[in-house]
Structure 1
Amino acid sequence: MNIKRHGAALGLVAASALLLSACGSDNNAQRGDTAAANSANVDCGGKKELSAEGSSAQTNAIQEFVAEYAHICDGFNVAYNPTGSGAGVKQFIGGQVDFGGSDSPLKESEVEKAMQRCSGNPAWNLPMVFGPVAVAYNLPGMEGLVLKPDTIAKIFNGGIKKWNDPAIRELNSGANLPDKNIVVIYRSDESGTTDNFQKYLQAAAKDSWTQGVGKSFKGDTGEGKAKSQGVTDGVKATEGAITYVEKSFADAANLGIAKIDSGAGPVELTDEAAGKAIAAAKIKGSGHDLVLDLNALYASKEPGAYPLVLVTYELVCSKGYDAETSKAVKAFLTTAATSGQDNLTKVGYVPLPQEFRTKLLDAIKAIA
């Protein structure tokens, strides 16, 4: 077993891809012996540079994973292209990347194609990143905005058009809400974030959101922007705008983040509130295919829980890789599921609950 724990500079190269780079020796020095001590035994080796593509929602988490992987496995990299979940699924199924990233599990229509890509073996959905989704807005002077699921649904399908609409005023007594148009900014590209957001609205506000779900936005209102960074930039540049985006992006842009009142009082988006909701999520997949059942989570009215979260899956072959690729994929995913989780809070994600880490490691070990 070739287990390495040396510092390493991180360089990611992907043609026409966003370069995700971590600092070299300084970054590894910060990680130090603590991260190495907290990591599982990682069997480094195999393919020197893995390729992956998909969800932009997990970009910052992947950057942390890759930095830790380079720290533990000297000389090994992952080139990750954050082109969105739809592209990630297509590239994985097409055999163009070693693994894909998606904010939604493979659909039934994609399962057979993925099996063909994996030489007749099942592909697995492995939940690696939990990210709270913020309802982020740009409304100067308005802090602590409170919205209910029904109100959010009506904003994003055009049913509520003004910031001083009675439904919003009722939830924000005493607030100085302007007589200003609400500008909805949505993801123009296929996105698992969109899919999860619409699934949340369908579960939590079924009477108000009748547009359906899917990776394409169905609200029929607003302006489309590409990728998570695109919608964030759009809101930041537009007074009166609102969007749905991962917390890490909203935090980085210093946007307002709405509190959600699911029926038991307003809940601020915090790690604790999101973690409370995540702890209730159940696995509905079989064996090592760890697909989560989020419908009950989205409709939850549990006090103190923030239910609007997405899960990013890494799409992998259970079997069918060549030996070099299999070894490297397992080493990277083991790192991501263990010490790679240590720094996720600072970039806007919620570290995996321990029970998920155990199940993930069992699945990763089973990859052949």
Structure 2
Amino acid sequence: MKLSALTKVAAIGGIAALTLTSCAANESASGSTEGGAAASSLSGNLIGAGASSQGSAQEAWVAGFQTANPDVTVNYDPTGSGAGRETFQQGASAFAGSDRAFKLEEIEAGPFDACAADSGIVEFPAYISPIALIFNVEGVDSLKLDAPTVAKIFSGEITSWDDAAIAAQNEGVTLPAQNIVAVHRSDKSGTTENFTDYLTAAAPAEWTPGAIEEWPTEFGGEAAQGTSGVVEAVANGVGTIGYADASRAGDLSTVEIKVGEEYVAYSPEAAAAIVDASPLEEGRGEHDLAVTIDRSTTEAGVYPIVLVSYLIGCEAYEDAANAELAKAYFNYIVSAEGQDLAAESAGSAPISDSLRSKIQPAIDAIS
């Protein structure tokens, strides 16, 4: 359903109230001269919404971009991937952050109200991070688990921490006879879809719902809103386990995942490696760079539960001001400076030069 004009204004006002700001200083995103940073000619407001996984990175990107462009205000509301895509489609934001790309049938159904008539959309990976399995079990600092065991834990088939399937992979670890509380996202979430996509690929016999954004209620467990809600529920619970963007794991214990014959701890490097080794999806537009992650790989040193979070905009905007600002902001985010800033602030994996070379033509096409 399209938003009315009044509703769009209200939505934009609500997003604008959540402006992410910082006084961090960065070099100009608009170019420089031999004498130093060039003065920016950009001005106006740019509104975005979407993936909460990008929250910390967006705070850093907004701060750096606004420092380089002091007459620009960027507002990013981390409402979740599903809400972000809907807000963008309805024209209440100029761009979206999403932990999955739009599906082909969603693109065909349209419309995208921020975009000019007959415009395609621009989608590309901007934030790469492992999804960590975080847990809180007294006396247990680390765990090793394979995909079938993870699937059985989150589907409710394995209910106690001293289950034989867990014990067999964790020799020497004293596991309590304690109920497992599996925490999942209550909201429509790209993190959930990435996690369940891994389970679908790596444990198809044990995980049958497929790759889904909304958790299947028949599996029970504890529901929590957003990334921060899952982290809080695991941290404050007893015998809890959940999944969250690794940058938000903090001091919580995490699981090493079995890949091939070894168990691999999450790391930005292992996450970036699997993205570079994965192909782009077929059948998409020239500037729609959705990646098909090989979740069932047995390659050494690769971490398969990875979140690839996208930036989404228009090839051609209805509003020329949005086009100019979105293009400049996207360029800043994918730059080496922007990616290094996100890595420092959020623990993400900087995109490779190879991936950047594929993304740049998509950003250049924005008008």
- TM-score, scaled to structure 2: 0.88
Contact 2:42 2:69 in 1 (8 A): no
**1:20: how far off?**
5.4
- Residue by residue over 1:78-119, the C-alpha shift from the partner in whole angstroms, topping out at 9 and shown as x without a partner, is 101111111111111100100111111112332134444222
Q: Which residue of 2 aligns with 1:167?
A: 165
2:168 partner SS: helix
Q: Which residue of 2 aligns with 1:224?
A: 223
Mapped to 1, the partners of 2:211 and 2:274 lie a distance apart of 21
Q: Which residue of 2 aligns with 1:10?
A: none
Q: Which residue of 2 aligns with 1:135?
A: 133
Mapped to 2, the partners of 1:113 and 1:102 lie a distance apart of 18
Mapped to 2, the partners of 1:215 and 1:149 lie a distance apart of 19
Mapped to 1, the partners of 2:213 and 2:16 lie a distance apart of 22
**2:56 pairs with 1:57:** no
1:61 partner SS: helix
1:127 partner SS: strand
**1:320: how far off?**
2.9
Q: Which residue of 2 aligns with 1:302?
A: 299
Identity of aligned residues (%): 33
**1:150: how far off?**
0.8
**1:133: how far off?**
0.3
Contact 1:45 1:327 in 2 (8 A): no
In 2 relative to 1, CA 308–20 (structure 1 residues): closer, same or farther, beyond 3 Å? farther
Mapped to 2, the partners of 1:42 and 1:149 lie a distance apart of 51
Q: Which residue of 1 aligns with 2:208?
A: 210
1:77 partner SS: strand
Aligned residue pair count? 345
1:202 partner SS: helix
**1:275: how far off?**
2.5
Mapped to 2, the partners of 1:18 and 1:177 lie a distance apart of 47
Contact 2:21 2:63 in 1 (8 A): yes
1:51 partner SS: strand
In 2 relative to 1, CA 79–116 (structure 1 residues): closer, same or farther, beyond 3 Å? closer
1:53 partner SS: strand
Q: Please tell me the root mean square deviation across aligned C-alpha atoms, in Å.
A: 2.3
Q: Which residue of 1 aligns with 2:232?
A: 233
Aligned runs of 1:9-20 on 2, under 5 Å?
15=14, 19=18
**2:264 pairs with 1:270:** no
Contact 1:115 1:122 in 2 (8 A): no
In 2 relative to 1, CA 159–42 (structure 1 residues): closer, same or farther, beyond 3 Å? farther
Q: Which residue of 1 aligns with 2:325?
A: 328
In 2 relative to 1, CA 114–52 (structure 1 residues): closer, same or farther, beyond 3 Å? farther
Contact 1:115 1:121 in 2 (8 A): no
2:53 partner SS: coil
AA matched with 2:300: P
**1:278: how far off?**
2.3
- Residue by residue over 1:222-254, the C-alpha shift from the partner in whole angstroms, topping out at 9 and shown as x without a partner, is 011111001110000002100110001112xx1
AA matched with 1:49: N
Aligned runs of 1:28-43 on 2, under 5 Å?
28=25, 31=26
Q: Which residue of 2 aligns with 1:79?
A: 75
In 2 relative to 1, CA 301–360 (structure 1 residues): closer, same or farther, beyond 3 Å? same
Q: 1:157 aligns with which of 155, 158, 165?
A: 155
**1:35: how far off?**
12
Mapped to 2, the partners of 1:65 and 1:321 lie a distance apart of 25
**1:272: how far off?**
2.4
Q: Which residue of 2 aligns with 1:6?
A: none
AA matched with 1:223: E
**1:345: how far off?**
2.2
- TM-score, scaled to structure 1: 0.88
1:299 partner SS: coil
Q: Which residue of 2 aligns with 1:316?
A: 313
Q: Which residue of 1 aligns with 2:64?
A: 68
1:101 partner SS: strand
Contact 1:46 1:323 in 2 (8 A): no
Give the stretch that moved more between structures: 214-223 or 190-199. 214-223
Give the stretch that moved more between structures: 331-340 or 138-147. 138-147
Q: Which residue of 1 aligns with 2:7?
A: none
1:276 partner SS: helix
Q: Which residue of 2 aligns with 1:361?
A: 360
Q: Which residue of 1 aligns with 2:9?
A: none
Q: Which residue of 1 aligns with 2:175?
A: 177
**2:102 pairs with 1:106:** yes
Q: 1:261 aligns with which of 258, 263, 270?
A: 258
Contact 1:44 1:328 in 2 (8 A): no
AA matched with 2:360: L
Contact 1:124 1:289 in 2 (8 A): yes
Mapped to 1, the partners of 2:59 and 2:14 lie a distance apart of 17
Q: Which residue of 2 aligns with 1:91?
A: 87
Q: Which residue of 2 aligns with 1:245?
A: 244
Contact 2:182 2:222 in 1 (8 A): yes
Q: Runs of 5+ in structure 1 lacking a partner?
A: 1-12
Contact 1:151 1:168 in 2 (8 A): yes
In 2 relative to 1, CA 35–162 (structure 1 residues): closer, same or farther, beyond 3 Å? farther
**1:77: how far off?**
2.1
